Structure 1
Amino acid sequence: MEKNKIRQVQKEKAKNKFSRKDLKKSSPLDASISYKDLEESEEELEDQYETEDENDDQNQKDTSLSLDILNLELPKYPPKIKTVLLLLKGEKFRVLHYGFKGYGNDKETSYFKHNVFDNFSKAASVIESYANGFYDFENPRREDFYERFKSEMLLKVNENSTDVKNKTNRHFLSYYMKFWDGVDVKISALTFNGKPNAKTLAMTLFRIGIGKSQKLKDDFIKLDSKSLNGDHLRKTNFVLEILNEILRSSEDKTFTEDTFFANLNENDEFKNILKHLGGKNGQN
Structure 2
Amino acid sequence: MAKKTPNGTKAGNRGEAGRHELAFDIEAAALPKSIDEKAFASGGYPYNRKYKRKLYEKELEPLQIELLKLLAWARDNGERIVIVFEGRDGAGKGGAIARFTQHLNPRYARIVALSKPSDTEKGQWYFQRYAAEMPTAGEIVFFDRSWYNRAGVERVMGFCTHAQSEEFLREAPAFEGMLARDGVRLVKLFLTIGREMQMSRLHARWHDPLKRWKLSPIDFEALPRFDDYSAAFERMLETSSTDWAPWTVVRANDKFRTRLNAIRHVLHAVPYKDKDEDAIGEVDRRIVLTAEAYLSNGGES
Q: TM-score, normalised by structure 2?
A: 0.22
The structure richer in strand per residue is: 2
- Structure scoring higher RCO (CA < 8 A, sep ≥ 6) equals 2
Larger Rg: 1
Q: TM-score, normalised by structure 1?
A: 0.23
